[in-house]
Amino acid sequence: GQSLEQPSEVTAVEGAIVQINCTYQTSGFYGLSWYQQHDGGAPTFLSYNALDGLEETGRFSSFLSRSDSYGYLLLQELQMKDSASYFCAASGGGGNKLTFGTGTQLKVEL
Amino acid sequence: NAGVMQNPRHLVRRRGQEARLRCSPMKGHSHVYWYRQLPEEGLKFMVYLQKENIIDESGMPKERFSAEFPKEGPSILRIQQVVRGDSAAYFCASSPGDSGEKLFFGSGTQLSVL
């Protein structure tokens, strides 16, 4: 089976930088994705890492270390609208399905 | 280009009734995934389908739950004889290929069982 662990909650101030960590245990791992979900709405894709290293997309960056079974999502120049739940998800494990972590609730304060 | 469309947005059923949840994938997408989400929890994989085929149903309960994705029309997730524990948000996602790393999600169906 597969399991992914994330902190349940992170709080940061507007304009700051925050890092959300994700550790995973999977078999047949392909890559790690990140999704954002506002108030139970549709999860939206943020980034995907198949190789080790950092992927940058605007204010968001994602990192993967396959040897450490670890990744993180980095959010810079935080805005109030970034308050949401963030999920890491692993692909692989003998199928094409994504297995999601339990999610991190990010609260951005003034 | 319309996104993934799910309906109904909210569905209320009494115990023992049937629930049918519909999902139309994005145009050009032939791969559909169903996930279930309880409050304050992550998304739990249920089933992965391609047109007319169930590829992986390892996350779907063996009884009362079924899914289909016919050649024509939306994907359907069917729950027979619903119980209160079935109350959850059910999300559908689609992708253009089978790599599975980028999914496009619908807005979900909130099922409430009275």
| Beta carbons of B105 and A97 less than 8 Å apart | no
What is the b/e burial string over B51-64, where b = at least 16 CB atoms within 10 angstroms of the residue's CB? eeeebbbebbeeee
Residue B86 — φ and ψ, nearest 5°? -80, -10
Closest residue in chain A to residue B106, using alpha carbons only: A42
Question: Which of B3, B42, B55 faces A102 most closely, judged by CB atoms?
Answer: B42
Residue B67 DSSP label = E
pLDDT of residue A94: 57
* Inter-chain CB proximity A43 and B105 less than 8 Å: yes
| Secondary structure (3-state) at A11 | strand
CB atoms within 10 A of CB B82: 21
pLDDT band for position A48 (cuts 50, 70, 90): very high
Please tell me the predicted confidence (pLDDT) of residue A40: 85
Q: Which residue has the tokens 């549709």?
A: A42
Confidence (pLDDT) at B101: 73
Q: Flag whether residue A88 sits within 8 Å of chain B, measured between CB atoms.
A: no
Place of tokens 């109350």: B87
Question: At A95, is the pLDDT very low, low, confident or very high (cuts 50, 70, 90)?
Answer: low
Average pLDDT over residues A69-94: 92
Neighbours of A56 (CB within 10 A): 12
Chain B residues 28-47 with a CB less than 8 Å from chain A: 31, 33, 35, 37, 39, 41-45
Say what the pLDDT of residue B100 is: 65
Model pLDDT for residues B33-89, shown as the tens digit of each residue: 999 999 878 899 999 999 889 999 999 999 999 999 998 999 999 999 999 999 999
- Tokens read off for A33: 């994705």
Distance (Å, rounded) from C-alpha B53 to C-alpha B50? 5
- Across the interface, of A31, A100, A102, the residue whose CB is closest to B101 is A31
Nearest CA to B58 among A87, A94, A68?
A: A94
Cβ–Cβ under 8 Å, residues A43 and B43: yes
Residue A99 falls in which region: left (phi positive, over 0), alpha (psi -120 to 50) or beta = beta
Asked if the model's pLDDT at residue B102 lies above 90, the reply is no
The token pair that represents A26 in the structure block: 């999977």
Rounded Cα gap, residues B68 and B74, in angstroms: 9
Residue of B nearest to A9 (CA): B40
pLDDT score recorded for residue A30: 87
Q: Which residue of A has its CA nearest to B102?
A: A45
Whether chain A has a CB inside 8 Å of the CB on B7: the answer is no
Mean pLDDT value across chain A: 92
| DSSP symbols for A77-102 | S--GGG-EEEEEEEEESSSS-EEE--
Best residue in A97, A100, A104, A105 for a mutation probing chain B (most B CBs within 10 Å) = A97
- Residue A29 pLDDT class (50, 70, 90 cuts): confident
Residues from chain B that touch A101, judged by Cβ atoms under 8 A, are: 42
Taking the Cβ of residue B90 and every Cβ of chain A, the question of whether any pair is shorter than 8 Å is answered with: no
pLDDT at A28 over 70: yes
Whether A8 has a pLDDT exceeding 70, the answer reads yes
Any residues with CB less than 8 A from the CB of B73 and at least 6 apart, and which? none
